[in-house]
Structure formats: C-alpha cells, structure tokens
Structure 1
C-alpha cells in the first residue's frame, strides 16, 4: 500500500472488522498525519450490543493510538436550490458515542430514526432488488464525509435555510413527486413524507475536533491537489486516491470479488454522484491476506478481556431483522427475543419492523394500480406480497409455531455486504 494514500477503516461494528482494526493499531499501520481515520455508519437499527462494542473500540483507537474514530449518520435538510420550491436533500452529520437524549443532543439515534428518515425521503422500502438502505446510509454517507475530510478543513459547513421552522409545503412535496415522474395519490404520498418533514431541517456546522478524543493532525499535501473550493474531489481526473480497509475474512472471498468488480466498472462509468463508486478508491482486506477465517476471529476474541455480546452464529448480526435474512431466521430471532425485555419502539423488536412495513409498503389497491400478478397487493421489503411478512412472522411466534430446523440452515437470500 502507498505511504501517501490515506487509509479509511470502514468499521462495521462486528468481530471481524474489530479484530482487523486491533491488529492494525497494534502494528502501527495507521498514520493520523496521512489522514487515516476509522468510520462507523450508524443506521439507528444496530443491536445495543453493537453500540457498546463499537464504543469500546473507539475509546482504544483514539485514547491509546490517537486515530480519529468518527460515528456518522445519514441526515436530510431543507433547501430550495435557488428556486421558490423547497425540497429535502440527503447529507450526513457527526454524532458522539452516547445515545441521543435531552441531555446529549449530539448523541447517536438508536430507535430507527435514521432508517425511517431515509425511507420517508425515498417513499419506499429497501428490498432485494432496491437496496437503498446500503446506498443511502452507507455508500453515500461515507462518500459525502470523505469529500469533506480529505479537504483538510477544520469543520463541515452548515446546510439548510435560516428560518425558524420548516418551509417545505404539501404543494412542494407533490410538485417534486410529479416532476420525478411519480403518480402516488396525494394523501398516501403526504403520509409517507410526514416523517422526513418532521426531522431536523438544518445540518449544523460541526468541527471535527468536537467529535473525537484523538488530536487531529492530518497534514497530507498530496490531498490538496484534489481540493476544489472546499471539497475534495472523489471523481474525475482530480479524484483522491485512498485505500479502504475492510474487515472481510478469507472465507468471504465473494465479497472481495464483488467490490473489485465494482471498482473496475467505476473506471468506465464516470458517474460523479456521491451515490456512485469513487474513482480513486482501492481496497485492502488484511484478514483475507492473512487467511483469517470466522473460526480464528472467534478464537481471537475469546482471548481478549472484552467481546461483542452477541452469539457467534451470526444470527443477530446487524441489522437484526434485515429482510435479506431468511424468513425462518427472522422467525427464530423473534422467538428468542420473546424472553428479553425489549423496547418495542426500537428496531431490536419485530414490532418496529411490523409497523414500518405497514407504513411504507406500496398498497397497490389503495393506489388503484393495475395488479399484474396474482396474490400481489403490496410491494415492500420482500417484493410483491399479498400479506405483510413481518406481521405474519410475529403472528407465528405469538402462536408458538415451531421452525423447521432444515430451513434455519439456509443462508440469507442475499449475503450481507452492506458494509462493503
């Protein structure tokens, strides 16, 4: 790896990425002056144990090794873009490693608020064929953050208007929807957009140093060649060259191949949106190079004085009720959760997913759509369905229905790659 390219450690909150990071730190492979950092994308749907584990890793990285470890979240803001029509635009914000509360307004959200803000802006649910959750809360947020970080500024600017209250009207929502080719009935559209319109309408100015206990000492003259205005360019001829360090194991080679293909394709597809693959990104997976498997990761953490307080099976991996997990696994999770004292208003509970699926699935009958497939009344997390899946799973659990053990052996419909 280059000695001048910044290393960006993408921390998922799991054991593999944590083992990788611990080894990088102990071997002094991260250099804060080069611009090396660690980032954790909070979706607000992580398991509480993940937050606790990530908090401990952040403390070690910053206080023992002086490597900044930023927690970042997807956030929207209101903007008119120089016109008289207001709309919501996606961005990100920095948060600290303690839960949001009245006494900690800079804390991370953990009740699904980030997830729902993203859904409410788009107006539809993520699915196997439209993984807007990964695209918005991971890829876009990381790229927006890096464009600011590589510019070597002291802060990120304020975004949004200076009014005392939101300016976006119902008419603005409807006009924007129609302009984008949408035809959802007014009442349904406004109900789905209600949550995002209730969120903060300004992204406040934030200073990097306020969000890390490490001393920020970045001083990389190579990066200045890519700065235009107050942003570092991630696309085109001036694109920043950097290395993303991923906690992917040697028994997950398929994930590496997929990322390598995505990077190769980006060189031909010169898209310049922050939702696209940056042109100067390369990847390094130390655990792959070291032939580290899941079994070795588990053994590593068994030797440490702390560990992620989740089972080693991967059943409770983030996000807990990800629709890409098999329905049998989702049912098993909900069954095991029955014995726990869980806040039903958080994504740790299947009740939250039941409510979100009902609230944001497309109701083809209510929208007066031409239904072309039998038994398809809704479109949501699981594609076209005739009944809500999470509600059905919850009913089976409440009725004490047993799960076929053979079904539990099946992998998720699509393997996890949301932290790639």
Structure 2
C-alpha cells in the first residue's frame, strides 16, 4: 500500500467487503491523518439485514480504530442555469446510521426513495445497457464526496436556492427536455418528473463531525496541491492521486479486470465530469492479493460473534431484486420472501419493483415511437419487452409456478458483475 496517498475503503455492506475492512483495521493499515476513510453508498434498495450489518461495522471502525466511516446517498437540489430557468441537479448528502423518520431527518432512506429520485431525474430505468444506478448512486456520489473530503474542510456547503418553495415550473422542465433533444410527450414527461420535484430542493450544509464518532485528524500535504477553490480536483493536471480499496475476492477476477479497464480508458478519454472515472485513482484489492475465496470469507464470519443475516449463497444479496439478476433467480427470491416477515413498503417487497417498472418504463406506443418489433412495447429494466417483467414474476409466484432448475443452475455460474 502507498504510504502517502489517502485510501478510500468502498464498503458494499457484504461479507467480503467487511472481512477485508476488519483485516485492514486489525493490521493497522488505515491511517486517519493520511485521509483514509470508509464509505457506504446507500441506494435505499438494500436489504434490511445489510443496514443492520453495516451499522455494526461502522461502530467498530470508528469506536475501536478511530477511522471515519460515512454513510452517503444520492440526492438532488434545485438551481438555475443563470438565465432564470430552474432545473434539478444531482449531489449527495451525509446521513447517520439510523433510518429516516420525522424525528430523524438526517437518517438514511430505506424505502426506495433514493433509487426513485435518481430514476425520476433521468426519466428512464437502469438496465444492463444503461447502468445509471451504478453510475449515479455509486460512482458520481463517491466522486462528489471525495472532492469535498480531500479538501480537508470542516463541512460540505449548502446547495440550492433560498426560496421557501420549489421554483422549477412545468415550462422549465419541458424546455430543458426539448433543448436536450428529447421527444417525450409533455404529459408523460411531467408524470415521470413528479417524484423528483417532490423531493427536498436544498442540500443543507453538513459538518463531518456530526456524521462520524471518529476524531477527524486528516492532514495530508499531498492533497493540498490539488485543491482549487474549496474542492479537490479529481481530473486533469491537478488530479489527486488516491487508492480505492475494494472487497473483491480472488475468485472475482472479472470484476477487477473491468475496473482496471475503466481506469485505463479514463486516461485516454480524459472526461472531467464527476460521472467519469477519476484520473488519479488506483485500485487495491487485498482479498485478491491474499487469494481469498468465497469459502474462506464464509469461514471467517462463522468464527465471529456476529454475521450478516443473509444466506451464504448470494441469493439474498444486498440489492435484493437487482434487475441484473436473472428472471429465474428473481422468481426464486420472490417465492422465498413469502415465508419472511418483510416491510411491504420497501424494495424488499416485489410489489415495489412492480410499481416502479410500470411507472418509469418507456411506453413506445404512448410516446408515438415507431415500433420495429411487435414484441417490444415497453423499454425498461430488461430492455425491450412486451409485458412488465416484475409483474409477470409476481403473477408466477402467486400462481405457485415452479422454476426450471436448469435455469437456476445456469444462473449460479454467472458471477456478480456490479462494480463501483
């Protein structure tokens, strides 16, 4: 590990990530003065067991080892473009490790609100082709956070106007959409933007100290040369060098390769948006270096006095109904969830996904698009479809339909390909 570059542990909420973090802490490899920090990107679609597990890991990290551990999530705010045309812009916010409520408005959101806010801003659903979930809620949020954290200031600034109510009008939305080459009918456009317009229109000023119990002692001279204004630069000639520490195992080489390719491409393309790969990021995967496999991770947690309360098979992974999972696996999850006591108002319930798919899928006929194939009436999580997939899965579960075991066997051989 580099002795001067700050290390950012990207904690996923899973066992591999947690094992890696515990070993780094026990080996005294993380240095708070260097600017080392742990971050957990909440999408509000995580499994409730993930939140419980992450809460315990955060407490150990901060209380025992004095390493800051921040819980961060995507949000939007309202701003003008300078010509009095209002729009929504993405940013992030810090949260504490307790659920959001009227009594705890700085808590993390867990009922799919973050996920829907991101979808409503973009106007379409994430898919295998367009992974806006990872790009917006993981890559962008992390980059926005790092540009603030590395600046070694005490807080993140307030964003948004000072009005008492939202200012963005229907006309603002429609004009912006058409200016960007959009052709969605006004009524459909406004319906899909309704949720994001109902969200908070200001990101309040937040102090680091209010969201971590660790003492913040960051003091790293190599970061100071990359500060411009009140932000550290992640792109261009002033790009800061730092190390991202990932909990990817040795049996997940495909994921490491994908990230390395993304970093190599960034050096060639030199994109400078926070949605792009930072130019000074390098990757460290301790579990790969130690040849740690999934079996060894399971054995490690069996020896501990607490564990993630999800099966070791990976079926109930953090984002329970992730659309990147196969339809057979999603049906299996929905079937097993019938036996579990779940919060019906959260993404742990397939009904949430049914509603989101219906609400935000593109209806090609309603948009007056030319339909090349009769089998493609909608475009959503699963690309072009003739009927809503989550609704079809739910109906199969309700009818008690059995799942083809060969499809499940095939799916079990397909590795997770999600990277942040």
- 2:115 pairs with 1:115: yes
1:415: Cα distance to partner? 4.4
Summarize the alignment of residues 75-154 of structure 1 with structure 2, pairs less than 5 Å apart: 75-154=75-154
TM-score using structure 1 length? 0.99
Indicate conservation of the 8 Å contact 2:127/2:381, yes or no.
yes
User: Counterpart in 2 of 1:5?
Assistant: 5
Summarize the alignment of residues 292-311 of structure 1 with structure 2, pairs less than 5 Å apart: 292-311=292-311
User: Counterpart in 2 of 1:385?
Assistant: 385
User: Counterpart in 1 of 2:315?
Assistant: 315
1:103: Cα distance to partner? 1.0
Q: C-alpha distance in 1, partners of 2:134/2:416?
A: 10
Indicate conservation of the 8 Å contact 2:321/2:330, yes or no.
yes
1:79: Cα distance to partner? 0.3
Structure 2 unaligned spans of 5+: none
User: Counterpart in 2 of 1:47?
Assistant: 47
Q: C-alpha distance in 2, partners of 1:318/1:370?
A: 38
* Alignment coverage as a number of residue pairs: 420
Q: C-alpha distance in 1, partners of 2:81/2:160?
A: 10
Q: 1:413 to 1:45 in 2, by over 3 A?
A: farther
Indicate conservation of the 8 Å contact 1:326/1:412, yes or no.
no
Q: C-alpha distance in 1, partners of 2:399/2:184?
A: 36
Summarize the alignment of residues 170-319 of structure 1 with structure 2, pairs less than 5 Å apart: 170-319=170-319
User: Counterpart in 1 of 2:67?
Assistant: 67
Q: C-alpha distance in 1, partners of 2:324/2:414?
A: 6
TM-score using structure 2 length? 0.99
Give deviations 1:324-350, integer Å, cap 9, x for gaps.
Answer: 111000000000001122222210000
Q: 1:134 to 1:414 in 2, by over 3 A?
A: farther
Q: C-alpha distance in 2, partners of 1:280/1:40?
A: 21
Q: C-alpha distance in 2, partners of 1:103/1:18?
A: 30
1:413: Cα distance to partner? 10
Indicate conservation of the 8 Å contact 2:254/2:417, yes or no.
no
Indicate conservation of the 8 Å contact 1:12/1:419, yes or no.
no
Give deviations 1:382-415, integer Å, cap 9, x for gaps.
Answer: 0000000000000000000011111111237974
Alpha carbon RMSD of aligned pairs, Å?
1.0
SS of residue matched to 2:76? strand
Indicate conservation of the 8 Å contact 2:46/2:319, yes or no.
yes
Indicate conservation of the 8 Å contact 1:324/1:412, yes or no.
no
1:374: Cα distance to partner? 2.4
Q: C-alpha distance in 2, partners of 1:153/1:129?
A: 38
Q: 1:409 to 1:20 in 2, by over 3 A?
A: same
1:360: Cα distance to partner? 0.1
Structure 1 unaligned spans of 5+: none
1:416: Cα distance to partner? 3.1
Indicate conservation of the 8 Å contact 1:35/1:219, yes or no.
yes
Deviating more after overlay: 260-269 vs 244-253 = 260-269
Q: 1:395 to 1:413 in 2, by over 3 A?
A: farther
1:361: Cα distance to partner? 0.1
Q: C-alpha distance in 1, partners of 2:344/2:412?
A: 24
User: Counterpart in 2 of 1:26?
Assistant: 26
